[in-house]
Structure 1
Amino acid sequence: MRKFFKVFGIILLILLAIIAGALIYINYNAESIADRLLTKYYQEQPVSKVYEISYRDINLDLWSASVVFHDLKIKPLQSFFDGSDSIRFRHPVVFDAQIEKLAVNGLARNLSFNLKKIHFGTIRISGPHIVMIEHLTDAEKQTAKELQNAQHADTSSSDKNIKGIAIRRFILSGGSFSRMLRTQNLETLAVADIDINIRKIDLPFGKVAETLAADAFARTEVHLREINYKLPKGFYEIVIQKVDISGTDSLITLSELQLIPQYDKKEFGKKMGYQTDRMELNVPTLEIRDFDLARFVATDTVHVRNIVIAEASLVAYRDKNVPFDHSRRPKLPQQMLAALPLPVDIEKVEVKNANILYQQIDPYADAPGEVPITRLYGTIYNVTNIRPVISRRGAMMWDVQAIFFGDGKMKVEIMFPKNIQSADFSFNATMGPMQFTGFNQMIVPTEGVKIEQGTINSLWLRADAGEESAAGPMVLNYANLKVAVLKDNPEKPEDKSGLLSLLANIVINSSNQNPADTATMYFERDKERSIFNYLAKTVISGLKATLLPGRQNEDKKAQRTERREERKARRAK
């Protein structure tokens, strides 16, 4: 971000310096003289080896001390792209801009010849169409970064005698912006409409980005429309209909944010090459409150007081016909925070009335199983990887409540450790009354088992989880459970479902006593899976211990055998 501010600031400041310098020497034939002066002055600047600058005409009004450019064009020279690495590496990002009209007034204060600070009244940019071009390869970007770090050169001002500029008002309207990767001929970001309004800017040269962030942001209004961003690797596109930034209110509002997969459900996993969740996300409103831009620009620290996500809907689809990648080791949430390259401190994230649908298609299944989670309200506290902040405010915690399978009201709390390198965490949950038949949305397509009747009266559980396993008590109070096996293994076509249904109902406790006995949850962590798999499998172990007494030891043995076989298979590859 600082590079963007810096490069854009250099171009803008050079243009403004040109304007101010020209007005010092103008007379009655001002326009022709100014045109010659501007051309001569620009050709003497190092940036003239990077850009070609042209305009249709220039109008000067001496009485109002204003200047207007029409059809101003700033275009990178082809000779720059074909030039030496030294100049290309100094400008890793360049701009191709076409501006319908650039008008500046209030220049009379500069006629005192005191150019320690250049003063402007209103700068109005109408219809700018700007393309940001990244022209270096990945290897060249790394080399350029190393060279810049070694040089530590301040190139923010081309004239060391001028100390800064002051602008009473800056207005940009009807603009557009795009980001282009020249090496791939790929547009990765497009913004269809941009409006910016900033009041009272006082910029010392050499600290443009810091001053804009610390001072001018409080008097800034920005409105962006129709934003499209293609994520790397080409699997997703982010579309945002509207972004409104109010520096006065310290509020950033995103409207109609969408995460759109670029492949359908059948093709996504095949293109990815391994098993993963295909996400479709729609967020009508996302608010970022009190983002500390000055701190971010100065120290690269992301600090946000509150993020509010309203009415979001997420569909996650997993195709289990695609091979699973056993080399992947997803981190737990606190470990993800620890691995971030920047300091992050988000005090609170609120999710209001969200809906989540998890779909899973298994081999031989005709349709996906589904887990619907609706009316989800949640708060995540203390999303931070800054140790003093963790010591002061406490560790991260998730507090969530939602409707499970359209029936059961569930509350979940997950407490993470202060040591964010650790894999330890704990969780507890409760659920009110619901019908067992709700689970059929998932287990009928995936397991070939149907619950015909049964009621969950209440559920309570608590567990401590770590690097290797999770364990804890569960109390499930239920009644009148009856199941039917719809199909046997599809590779064995003979019909055994009636016999298996009978055996299942003999083995399963149809009801338990009141008060219910306490079962023990226990699950050995599969480190190739996410925290959600860890949570779900731990809970399932407790359900098995309650519904199928005596099976838990067998499940542990089967789980360990499965792990050994997977390790053998990986070593054999």
Structure 2
Amino acid sequence: MRPIWKWIIGGVLLSILVLVGVIWYYSHNWKPIVEAKLKEVVHYSTNGLYTLQYEDLDLNIGLGNATLSNAELIPDSAVYRRMVEAQEAPNNRYHIKIKKLRVRNFSLLDALSKKKLNIRTILLEEPSLHLISEYHSFNDTIRDKSRKTLYESIKNIFTAVNVRDIHMDNIKFRYTKYEAGNRSVMNLEKAKVSVHDVLIDETSLEDTSRLYYTKMVLVEIPGFEYDLPDGFYKAKFKGLKINTREQNVLFTDVEYRPRMNKPTFYKLKKQNVTMAVLKFDTLRVEHLDFKELIDNQKTLAAKVQLKNGAVDLSADKRYPKYPVVKIGHSPHQKLMKMTKLLRLDTVVVDNVSVTYHEMSGKYFREGSISFNHATGVLTNVTNDTMALKKDRFMRADLKARIMNTGSLHAKFGFDMLSPTGYHTYSGTLGPMQATAFDRILRPLLNVEITSGNIKHIAFNMEGTDRKNWGEFRFDYDNLKINILNKVDEKGTQSSKKVVSYLINHILINDSNPDDKGEYHIGKVNYARVPEHTFFKTLWQSLLEGIKQCTGISKEREAKLMGLADTGKDVVDKGKDIVEGAKDVTKKTGNFIKGLFKKKDNSKEDSKN
């Protein structure tokens, strides 16, 4: 029996020696073959657009390992220009550099016998990716010449390629965009990408559970800051996470703000335009269709969440404003004019404060009005006409605390298919003290509310491009206002007692119902000023309702303008009023026009 064991042991040893010899031979002699094959695959699969260069290729056939050192995938600019002339060039090119590309545990036997390449892991050390984007309209119009898929490019070499995991750490990414003769650049550093279960075969591209042959792509970017090409604004975030399997995108600490402070911004702009600062702790997108976004630049998502944020809008009336007709530029009309399709089922607003600041061009002080801790939802946010045929309205249901005091609940409805920009808005405001509005009235109009108890406001309005109409109800009592003098050298400010007295006793009702028990309802029919924005028109319409509820009719304004003849019958101190009636009438008339009619400020300033 012993000779048999000798033969068995000898055979095994011989087999091992032969296997080791084969592995050694192929490891040392296949290198030029593999190198030639790699370059052939790259050249053939990209129609000659790219060439592959590297410093060294280390193969270990026995372990199924390979390492590519200092590899570089280089686009050929001359080839690209010829492709542009032939209208065959892609919009995007890539220049990739990798310090080490490590392939672990690939099966040589399957690659040789079955033309199937199975790889356990691919590791990329210090990859650098430069994406160059150059838009070509022929890629939108030419459809008769279908491009080769990745599988079609490799099927003569491999019938299938499967990679379980790909890991890339410390990625440097550079994005260069050429558009209309302009060049913009964006840089990212220290990004991390993991790709799970890559399968390239005859059927994988049609697998709906995969995104471009992959089961999952994870992207983590620790920080980003980008100066926008306009030279005024920048965008930044602290973190970005993308999960293609869960179809989620998460931004943290997002900011969009000017690159300079407010005075410098307006000094450079040289005109009164809106300056915006947006900040959100969390911006989350759920169930985003990545394939539509990448292929067709369509943004389709189930939900977008804006959480713990602030929106600050500013204006400066010390600078000129150049009126532009705003007809057709309401929010829903702008959405419909977008060239790319947008469809968001729900947008959730969670604890976002909105503040409007304005610098007075007359008193050189800044006033503000705020809507604090806003919450609510917007639904059917889309410009997809097919979807809008089923439901043509985009809706918003929002709650906030105005001036961080009164509870405001507002609802909006936008007819997205209306040729006249039809929309609705309704709302209620709960109890609050009217003095809270001094934060905007005193700096901008030199007016203060000394008392006023707002019990309830309710409005139900409709509007188009040309007018707003509806009903406004305003329940209040004990309303008193002061007209202020300019601040003196000591920094104190007194009121214009006579003018204030006349306004409180002649112009406005101090309560609704008034002292006669009559309840005033605002019947609004407001003709839009074409140069006014959507939101300014909305405010002017509500202001018309406020004026009617407080009793500021055209007749009362006319009565006030005639105080020169009747002022002594209004106030016991007739002597003082008779002597100053004309001056009071002029000043009060100008104030009323400035406060309620909102006429051109420059004209009012010249009268005063």
- Partners of 1:454 and 1:142 lie apart in 2 by 62
Structure 2 equivalent of residue 304 of structure 1: 301
2:40 equivalent to 1:41: yes
C-alpha change, 1:144 and 1:472, in structure 2 (3 Å) is closer
CA contact (8 A) 2:504 2:510 kept: yes
**Is 1:179 equivalent to 2:147 in the alignment?**
no
Q: Offset of 1:323 from its aligned partner?
A: 2.9
SS of residue in 2 equivalent to 1:504: helix
The one of 449, 452, 459 equivalent to 1:451 is: 449
Alignment partner of 1:542 is 2:540: no
Amino acid at match of 2:258: P
User: For the residues of structure 2 that align with 1:274 and 1:268, how far apart are their CA atoms?
Assistant: 10
Asked if the contact 1:98/1:130 (under 8 Å) is kept, the reply is yes
Q: What is the CA–CA distance in structure 2 between the aligned matches of 1:259 and 1:243, rounded to whole Å?
A: 15
Deviation string, structure 1 residues 34-63 (Cα, Å, up to 9, x no partner): 575258637965859655533232211111
Counterpart of 2:188 (choices 187, 191, 213) is 191
Which residue is equivalent to 1:53?
52
Alignment pair present for 1:121 and 2:113 = no
Check the 8 A contact 1:31/1:59 in 2, yes or no.
no
Q: Deviations over 1:162-212 (max 9, x none)?
A: 565322222222212121247989653222222222222223489869978
Q: Could you say what secondary structure the match of 1:536 adopts?
A: helix
Partners of 2:190 and 2:504 lie apart in 1 by: 64
Deviation at 1:335, TM superposition (A): 1.5
Paired with 1:416 and 1:316, the residues of 2 have a C-alpha distance of 23
For residue 454 of structure 2, give the secondary structure of its aligned residue in structure 1.
strand
Partner of 2:239: 242
Residue in structure 2 matched with residue 398 of structure 1 by the alignment: 396
2:216 aligned with 1:219, yes or no?
Answer: yes
The match for 2:509 is 509
2:314 to 314, 317, 322: 317
1:28–1:438 CA distance, 2 compared to 1 (3 A): closer
Of the structure 1 ranges 497-506 and 213-222, higher mean CA displacement relative to structure 2 is found in 213-222
**Deviates most, 187-196 or 398-407:** 187-196
Q: Secondary structure at the match of 1:323?
A: coil
Name the SS of the counterpart of 1:509 in structure 2. coil
Tell me if the contact between 2:222 and 2:239 (Cα under 8 Å) persists in the aligned partners. yes
Structure 1 residues 481 and 324, CA gap change in structure 2 (3 angstroms): same
- Match for residue 230 of structure 1? 227
Counterpart of 1:111 in structure 2 is: 111
C-alpha distance in 1 between matches for 2:25 and 2:335: 59
Q: 1:342 aligns with which of 340, 343, 346?
A: 340
Whether the 8 Å CA contact 2:408–2:428 is kept in 1: the answer is yes
214-223 vs 373-382, which moves further: 214-223
Distance of aligned partners of 1:379 and 1:69 in 2 relative to their CA distance in 1, 3 Å threshold: same
Unaligned runs of 5+ in 1: 1-22, 567-573
1:305-340 deviation line (CA, Å, top 9, x unaligned)? 111111011111112233323335362222223212
Identity of aligned residues (%): 18
With 290-299 and 396-405 compared, the bigger mean Cα shift is at 290-299
Q: What is the CA–CA distance in structure 2 between the aligned matches of 1:370 and 1:242, rounded to whole Å? A: 32
SS of 1:538 mapped into structure 2: helix
What letter is aligned with 1:477? D
- The count of residues paired between Structure 1 and Structure 2 equals 530
Measured in 2, the distance between the counterparts of 1:334 and 1:194 equals 36
Residue 437 of structure 1 is matched in structure 2 by 435
Per-residue CA deviations over 1:359-393 (Å, capped at 9, x if unaligned) read 01131232211011111112101112234433445
Q: 1:298 to 1:253 in 2, by over 3 A?
A: same
Contact residue 107 and residue 121 of structure 1 kept, 8 A:
no
SS across alignment from 2:503: helix
Deviation at 1:90, TM superposition (A): 2.1
Q: Which residue of structure 2 lines up, in the alignment, with residue 268 of structure 1?
A: 265
Deviation at 1:92, TM superposition (A): 4.6
User: 1:528 is matched by which residue type in structure 2?
Assistant: E
Aligned to 1:19: none
**1:57-112 residue CA offsets vs partner (Å, 9 max, x unmatched):** 22111112221112222344576689896389725533232212211232425433
Which structure has more relative contact order (CA 8 Å, sep 6+)? It is 1
Partner of 1:416, secondary structure, is strand
1:253, CA displacement in angstroms? 1.1
What displacement does 1:276 show? 2.4
Structure label with greater radius of gyration? 2
